[in-house]
Amino acid sequence: MLERLFIRDFILVDRLDLEFSPGFGALTGETGAGKSILVDALGLLLGARADAAVVRAGCERAELSGEFAAPPGSPAHAWLLEQDFECSDGVVIARRLIDAGGRSRAYVNGAPASMTQLRELGALLVDIHGQHAHQALMRESAQRELFDQHAGLAGRVADVGRLYRVWHAREQALARALGERESSERERERLQWQVEELTTLAFDPQAWNDLQHEHSRLAHATQLLEGGAEALALIEDGEAPLDAQLAHIVTLLTRLETYDTSLAECRGLVESAATQIDEAARALRAHAHSIDADPAALQRADERIADVLAAARKYRVEPEDLPRLLDEAQAQLARLDVESDPSSLARLRDEALAEYMCAARELSDERKPAAAQLSQGVTAAMAELAMQGGRFEVVLRPLGTPSVGGLEDVEFNVSANPGQALAPLSRVASGGELSRIGLAIQVIASARSGTPTLVFDEVDVGIGGRVAEVVGRQLARLGEARQVLCVTHLPQVAARASWQWSIAKRSDGSETRSSVVVLDGAARIEEIARMLGGEVITDTTRAHAREMLGPVVVSA
């Protein structure tokens, strides 16, 4: 449940630090006082879209922070573990910063989080019912979404949608193959010729490096032979061969060493140089024997290099990229082989359709009992909400073709009065009836939800009198098992709450702020009396408020 909410520089709020209680709580206040600001702040904290307009005028940024209970075993705790967020103490702290430029940052238990993560977590913690939710029920897509959510089928619907998209993509691929067979065949021939050419070329990067080295040796065989012979002659031949000079230096230093032992190091270095010169001479002789001025081999190397460079120029790549080009061409050719084969595509399409139909039929089977259950529940709730004799029915209308939402449309039908035929909700319900039916659906759907905190933002608009008392009792019953927060203007609803806050808007002439006051027993009586009587509060109004609140609040 929601335990704490911190708000700073958000719309009309400069700073609020609120601690929440369990059960059913009512948020009341004058029209325009900003009662829904708390709901908006909670929605933004849990991933709703934000812009710079939410930052209080003249401030750099708005800050929202909420603390929620997430005990081990709860869906939120499992999500934290799955996403590698810290969750050792069973508490979730969500934080969101929105700067004056509209940029937003989010954190979960101190670690950065994406907006997607924030929304996923928020769906496990809080279920917000907006004041215009009943109007959304006019759309069939909203009816199906609410019904599937109520029935706990959202995951299965997502799987059906995924399988539908796979089938639809394969259906389109088959249509393209049939409609573009000629152009596909030309592309296939081009790729096949390219694959054959590159396969025949058989380019290998290591062999390419070796070939370039060998070509250099063959092309410069004469220079290598002549240069090697000259170097060897300087070492061994001539009037002053290098090896003989080094031998003479060693003899000289050995004699001088008898007078000064410090020359031993110099003598050792010269001896080492003499040894290396001898090894160099042997290596030069061996190198000379390895050089073969082979015009035929040079010609073959020239031709191979020319072939590789021509292929690279043709395909506008470096020689080293030719293997990658071959792999890509082979992959494209394999794809075209499949896409240009209607029988293969039809088989894949049929496999995808069969998989979709299996999942969609299972979804249909699970929707049927859920539809009957919701129909009975809402019909009973309508009677409580002064619509005796009215009926509500969830109709599962079969579709002729597969759809992303399954094999049927979900339609809410209603009969608002006894003897009236059932008809789609969007055509027969008046504004007041729609408000009551929408509220009944939301309350029943919420009762089956596992979300620990439920928020109702003025969902009781358009009702009053005895119906408002019924709504208050229903919300109070929800509050026995869940934390329920309700923004309301109805005293009958607020009086049923376990606790109550008043939201007020104050101005000092230069700045307007919204504030929250926690109401005790006497203050609750005054607030309920204000809601009953308006601007002028009489003793009779207070007595009525005291009666509505009951003995527990009166004695507080």
Give, to the nearest 10 degrees, the angle between helix 140-150 and helix 431-448: 30
Residues near 514 by Cβ (< 8 Å), separated by ≥ 6?
11, 12, 13, 33, 34, 37, 503, 504, 505, 506
One-character DSSP codes across 408-466: EEEEEEEE-STTPPPEEHHHH--HHHHHHHHHHHHHHHHHH---SEEEEESTTTT--HH
Do the Cβ atoms of 156 and 405 come closer than 8 Å?
A: no
Query: Amino acid identity, residue 114?
Result: S
C-alpha span between 278 and 101 (Å, rounded): 78
pLDDT for position 534: 67
C-alpha span between 427 and 158 (Å, rounded): 29
Each residue's pLDDT, cut to its tens digit, for the chain (556 residues) gives 899 999 999 988 888 888 999 999 999 887 766 677 888 899 899 888 888 889 988 899 999 999 999 888 888 998 999 998 988 788 999 999 999 888 999 999 999 999 999 998 988 898 887 655 556 677 778 788 888 888 888 889 999 999 999 999 989 888 877 766 656 667 777 888 888 888 888 888 888 888 888 777 777 777 777 787 777 787 777 677 888 888 888 888 888 888 888 888 898 898 888 888 888 888 888 877 777 667 777 788 788 888 888 988 888 888 888 889 889 888 888 877 666 677 888 889 999 999 999 999 999 999 999 999 999 988 888 887 778 888 899 999 999 899 999 999 999 998 878 888 888 887 765 666 676 777 777 777 766 667 888 888 876 676 777 888 888 888 888 888 889 998 888 899 999 999 999 988 877 767 777 788 889 888 999 999 988 876 678 888 889 999 888 864 544 4
Q: Any idea how long the chain is?
A: 556
C-alpha span between 327 and 329 (Å, rounded): 6
pLDDT for position 7: 92
C-alpha span between 394 and 371 (Å, rounded): 5
pLDDT for position 117: 92
C-alpha span between 481 and 475 (Å, rounded): 11
Backbone conformation region of residue 130, classed left if phi is above 0, alpha if psi is from -120 to 50, else beta: beta
Backbone conformation region of residue 47, classed left if phi is above 0, alpha if psi is from -120 to 50, else beta: left
C-alpha span between 470 and 493 (Å, rounded): 8
C-alpha span between 358 and 551 (Å, rounded): 59
Tell if the pTM clears 0.75, that is, is over it: no
Helices (H) and strands (E) in the chain, counts: 21, 15
C-alpha span between 178 and 339 (Å, rounded): 9
pLDDT for position 462: 67
C-alpha span between 227 and 509 (Å, rounded): 99
Put the strands of the sheet holding 391-403 in their side by side order. Answer: 391-403, 406-415, 423-424
Do the Cβ atoms of 123 and 453 come closer than 8 Å?
A: no
